[in-house]
Amino acid sequence: MTGLIIEGGARRGIFTAGITDCLLENKIHFDYVAGVSAGAEVALDFTAKQEGRSRSVIMPHRTGDFSVLGFLSMDLDNMIYRFPYQDYPFDFDTFFASDTNCEFVATDCVTGKAKYFSENKSEQRLLDSVRASCTVPILYQISEFEGGKYVDGSIADAVPFDRAFEQGCSRVLVLLTKPENEPCTDYRKFEFLINKKYKDYPNLINALMTRFDRYNEQCKRMKQLEEDGILMVLRPSHKYVKSFEMNTDVLDEAYNAGKNLAKEKLAEIEDFLNVLEKK
């Protein structure tokens, strides 16, 4: 089995959208796909084989006086619940018919642990799962569904390659949105606000306070797994975009950089996975 892991990062996800569009163009298939936060949107579209949709969704949009995914005006509900039916129709039929096991990672507020959602029948539950994965702490209210309360999956499991191996994968391709050695968000800087906002969820607070160190540990383990030959990482060479970038030219540059990187590495990717979907 082969696995694809897609990291989040708000609008930085446009870099991974470029990579996945190249993979779709070349009919690269994966048995397992996991997306985290913005990576959940990219995973959704990749599994549905909708080339170009993630790029369109991630780009800035105007909805009244607000910018979808714009800083401090992120209209997540429009992106998750309106776009699939109106602005950028989502192919639910192809997604549900896929033989790829696609999971979306969220963080359980009560346990502070990762929750992995998959769905192959219900449109509403599928979109609710993506929303839970994309619920950035502090910026958004907690996502509630099926009796649970969730925030962004990157808090508990930012790069879920271990989950891929647990699901039976022997080779895993990881798509990152940050260049090597760039630190992840350190939520300890917001400790006062977090303690106040999430006072009823001590395990979530602990997950937020330890996230920086756990992410660094994941990065160290990825390097070892790369050396072992069972994991391959694609990442940007430098910081193309900010998490809440509004400049479409800059976003286009990042998208094209991701696509070009995948083209350059295509033979290596195919050799690593040793699998190419029959045309």
Q: Is residue 229 part of a domain?
A: yes
pTM as predicted: 0.93
Q: Is residue 10 part of a domain?
A: yes
Q: Is residue 265 part of a domain?
A: yes
Pick from 189, 221, 167, 163: nearest CA to 36: 163
**Does the annotation count 73 as an active-site position?**
no
Instruction: For residue range 198-219, list pLDDT tens digits in order.
Output: 999 999 999 999 999 999 999 9
| Residue 216, pLDDT score | 96
* pLDDT tops 70 at residue 227: yes
**Does the annotation count 152 as an active-site position?**
yes
Residue of 21, 45, 128, 152 marked active site = 152
**Can you give the CATH number for the domain in which 157 is found?**
3.40.1090.10
**Residue at token pair 């969704």:** 57
Q: Is residue 202 part of a domain?
A: no
Q: How confident is the model at residue 246 (pLDDT cuts 50, 70, 90)?
A: confident
* pLDDT tops 70 at residue 184: yes
Q: Is residue 190 part of a domain?
A: no
Q: Is residue 279 part of a domain?
A: no
The answer to whether 25 and 53 are in contact (CB under 8 A) is: no
Residue of 37, 133, 143, 154 marked active site = 37
Q: Is residue 197 part of a domain?
A: no
Q: Is residue 101 part of a domain?
A: yes
- Residues 6 or more apart from 275 whose CB is under 8 A from it? 2, 28, 29
Q: How confident is the model at residue 188 (pLDDT cuts 50, 70, 90)?
A: very high
The answer to whether 107 and 134 are in contact (CB under 8 A) is: no
* Domains in the chain, number: 1
HSE-CB for 212 with a 13 A CA cutoff = 10
Q: How confident is the model at residue 78 (pLDDT cuts 50, 70, 90)?
A: confident
Domain enclosing residue 144, as ranges: 2-182+219-273
